[in-house]
């Protein structure tokens, strides 16, 4: 097994708001796909589809935002300060500021527009 994580989904009640939030925070454009057979719509995070982990913002049956349970840490690039600095302007709330992990880089946590607790990680 190369990676422990293969795929992740961040649930949204207001799909367009959630998509706009993550596009603004990560300064990226997301592709959207509707899977009619599942009643689900997803917006995909930037990913290396051949070699890396992927994920998306999703809405549909069973997609319920939560600040409890599993926490996904998004790769915030070289320095998470940039992405974290865009969280509140995009409608989210910082719940743990940039915190050193010693030799393992830095982390921070925020609440997105849907009520999900999500983390950032970076080396600087």
pLDDT tens, position by position, 63-118? 999 999 999 999 999 999 999 999 999 999 999 999 999 999 999 999 999 999 99
CATH of the domain at 109: 3.10.180.10
CA distance 58 to 43: 7
What does 67-115 look like in DSSP terms, one character per residue? SSS---EEE--S-THHHHHHHTTTT-EEEEEEEE-GGG-EEEEEE-TTS
Residue 2 has pLDDT above 80, yes or no: no
pLDDT tens, position by position, 31-67? 999 999 999 999 999 988 777 789 999 999 999 999 9
In a domain? residue 3: no
Domain count, the chain: 1
What residues make up the domain containing 24? 8-122
Instruction: Give the residue among 7, 114, 12 at the shortest CA–CA distance from 61.
Output: 12
In a domain? residue 37: yes
In a domain? residue 1: no
Residue 16 has pLDDT above 70, yes or no: yes
Give this prediction's pTM.
0.92
In a domain? residue 75: yes
Question: What mean pLDDT do residues 4-10 have?
Answer: 89
């Amino acid at each position: 097994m190369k990676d422990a994580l293969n795929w992740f989904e961040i649930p949204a009640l207001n799909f367009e708001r959630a998509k706009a939030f993550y596009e603004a925070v990560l300064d990226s454009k997301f592709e959207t796909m509707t899977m009619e057979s599942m009643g689900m719509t997803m917006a995909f995070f930037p990913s290396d589809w051949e070699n890396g982990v992927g994920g998306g913002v999703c809405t549909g049956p069973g997609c319920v935002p939560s600040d409890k349970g599993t926490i996904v840490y998004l790769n915030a690039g070289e320095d998470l300060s940039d992405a974290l600095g865009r969280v509140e302007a995009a409608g989210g709330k910082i719940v743990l500021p940039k915190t050193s992990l010693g030799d393992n880089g830095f982390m921070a946590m925020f609440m997105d527009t849907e009520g999900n607790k999500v983390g950032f990680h970076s080396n600087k």
